[in-house]
């Protein structure tokens, strides 16, 4: 056999083997190509190798060399095909075949509840006016919710119809100051106002005092557009020498102007609270009218005395405003019940 012929046959085989292994899409195709080209008995390389014996003797070294090259090449193609399939399989598992053209999944970010957002903003504004945040418990004793706030035993504000008294007896230990003052023993309630925190702070601190307290209060009111049995208040208390009603009004005015970002008017209407004298209702202008936000006044000397302050030395101002109403006015919400329905379609609107 002429060398040319033998080499041409080898080249053709090499090209076909390359193609077969290169295009094999699965393990079965690779195995079929292996049997076809490298099979020990009837593989095509084996057949060609038999032809080697018929090549002219002088051409044998060249023919043999080329045969070995092609054989190595075909074996390498088998290894390459096997590796390629293995990588493809593990690639699918690890996601390394990431397709950047597939549209992504949009993750929705949660956001803070509008009341929480309002609380944070109020805290910020009052912080700039020098007020720090104080906290108190939501389950209160009679001393802090009533007695120390100059609300005596027979006062209608203590009526069980207006308060959430707890059916339980003592909750935790603690001095029952109300008992000492003659009230029922160890009665507890959900606080009806954040003014309780005024007492708790003054009991622990000497004047001057400059705090706010923001939190939940509870009253058995029927829910309507402006009432809810649980709502939030921001309480403010400033105790120092020579504190006056003018300070009260200017602080509330500054506060309103920075929160609502416009020149809100603040109006005081004479009112009554047992723990302030004089007392006022606080209204703020809105849409050509007025909205009532809460109460305020000059801290009653009896309250100062109840926590051991000297009413001749210091005076103070206090205010308590409804946070739901503040938040509702800011966003034009007309029914505060919306804040507590937990309807995400509503809540999502507040960034």
Query: Applying CB under 6 A, which residues contact ligand PHE?
Result: 193, 195, 273, 276, 279, 294-297, 318-320
CA distances (Å), origin 47, targets 17, 21, 66, 164, 261: 14, 19, 15, 100, 93
Nearest residue to the partner ligand PHE, using Cβ: 320
Least Å distance between CB 342 and ligand PHE?
Answer: 25
CA distances (Å), origin 116, targets 183, 214, 294: 36, 10, 19
**Residue 70 or residue 201: which is nearer to ligand PHE going by CB?**
201
Least Å distance between CB 196 and ligand PHE?
Answer: 9
Q: DSSP for 112-136? A: --HHHHHHHHHHHHHHHTTPEE---
Question: 3-25 as b/e, with b when 16 or more CB fall inside 10 Å?
Answer: eeebbebbeebbeebbebbeebe
**Residue 78 or residue 303: which is nearer to ligand PHE going by CB?**
303
Least Å distance between CB 155 and ligand PHE?
Answer: 13
**Residue 195 or residue 315: which is nearer to ligand PHE going by CB?**
195
**Residue 150 or residue 279: which is nearer to ligand PHE going by CB?**
279
Query: Which one, of 196, 213, 187, lies nearest residue 148 by Cα?
Result: 196
Least Å distance between CB 289 and ligand PHE?
Answer: 21
Least Å distance between CB 124 and ligand PHE?
Answer: 21
Least Å distance between CB 213 and ligand PHE?
Answer: 10
**Residue 207 or residue 294: which is nearer to ligand PHE going by CB?**
294
Q: DSSP for 209-231? A: EEEEEEEEEE--PPPBTTB-SEE
**Residue 118 or residue 279: which is nearer to ligand PHE going by CB?**
279
Q: Which residues contact 286 (CB under 8 A, 6 or more apart)?
A: 264, 329
């Amino acid at each position: 056999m002429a060398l040319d012929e033998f080499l041409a046959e080898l080249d053709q085989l090499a090209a076909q083997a390359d193609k077969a292994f290169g295009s094999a899409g699965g393990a079965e195709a690779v195995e079929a190509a292996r049997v076809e080209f490298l099979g020990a008995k009837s593989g095509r390389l084996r057949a060609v190798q038999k032809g080697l014996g018929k090549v002219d003797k002088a051409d044998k070294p060249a023919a043999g060399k080329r045969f070995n090259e092609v054989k190595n090449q075909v074996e390498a193609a088998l290894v390459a095909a096997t590796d390629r399939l293995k990588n493809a399989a593990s690639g699918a598992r690890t996601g390394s075949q990431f397709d950047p053209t597939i549209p992504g999944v949009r993750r929705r970010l949660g956001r803070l509840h509008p009341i929480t957002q309002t609380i944070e903003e109020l805290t910020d504004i009052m912080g700039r006016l020098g007020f720090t945040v104080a906290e108190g418990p939501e389950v209160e004793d009679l001393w802090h919710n009533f007695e120390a706030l100059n609300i005596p035993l027979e006062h209608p504000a203590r009526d069980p119809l207006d308060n959430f008294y707890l059916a339980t007896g003592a909750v935790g230990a603690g001095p029952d100051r109300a008992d000492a003052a003659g009230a029922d023993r160890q009665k507890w309630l959900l606080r009806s106002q954040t003014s309780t925190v005024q007492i708790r702070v003054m009991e622990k601190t000497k004047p001057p005092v400059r705090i706010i307290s923001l939190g939940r209060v509870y009253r058995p009111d029927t829910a309507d557009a402006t009432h809810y049995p649980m709502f939030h208040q921001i309480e403010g208390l400033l105790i120092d020498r020579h504190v006056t009603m003018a300070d009260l009004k200017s602080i509330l005015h500054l506060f309103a102007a920075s929160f609502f970002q416009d020149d809100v008017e603040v109006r005081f209407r004479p009112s009554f609270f047992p723990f302030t004298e004089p007392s006022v209702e606080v209204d703020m202008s809105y849409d050509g009218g007025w909205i009532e936000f809460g109460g305020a006044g000059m801290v009653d000397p009896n309250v100062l005395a109840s926590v051991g302050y000297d009413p001749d030395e210091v005076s103070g101002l206090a205010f308590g405003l409804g946070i739901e109403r503040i938040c509702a006015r800011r966003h034009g919400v007309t029914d505060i019940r919306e804040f507590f329905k937990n309807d995400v379609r509503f809540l999502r609107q507040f960034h």
